[in-house]
Amino acid sequence: MKNYIIRHNNDFFENAFDGLFRPLYQPTKDLMRTDVRDTEGAYLFDIEMPGFAKEDISVSFDNGYLTVNASRKVEEEKKDAFIRQERNCSCEREFYVGDIDEKLIKAKYENGVLYLTVPKDAPKKEDAHVITID
């Protein structure tokens, strides 16, 4: 698996104006926190997704990228007028895992955590594929 994390240094001029361009409230900031473990035959992903139902989550693989997407919409009642509504959200995260056979990827959702097992060094198929969550 290749890791494309960009690290920024603490240069004053580089970070001085960051706060001006961020929204005041970021409801999805802490969604999809992920632990990735490297084992002998596979990469293991533990992705926190609290509050999402299994049906709200989709996992797909295309061109070496594993994409996890979740969307939740709370139905609002017609009689109540909301002043603020923050429980509707969607989030997406993408991981580059390389050329593998997507049919060997396993996914399981349990207690608000999505567990993915991505095998190493498996030959790649050419078309996109959606992974079923157990």
Per-residue pLDDT reduced to its tens digit, 40-87: 989 999 999 988 899 999 999 998 899 999 988 777 666 667 677 777
Is this structure's pTM higher than 0.85? no
Please indicate, yes or no, if residue 90 is contained in any of the structural domains. yes
Please indicate, yes or no, if residue 16 is contained in any of the structural domains. no
Q: Which of 100, 128, 132, 98 is nearest to 116 (CA)?
A: 132
Please indicate, yes or no, if residue 5 is contained in any of the structural domains. no
Q: Residue 111's pLDDT is what? A: 92
Is residue 41 within 8 A of residue 119, CB to CB? The reply is yes
Please count the structural domains in the chain: 1
Please indicate, yes or no, if residue 9 is contained in any of the structural domains. no
Domain of 95, CATH number, reads 2.60.40.790
Domain holding 93, by residue range, is: 28-131
- Alpha carbons 103 and 66: distance in angstroms, whole number: 12
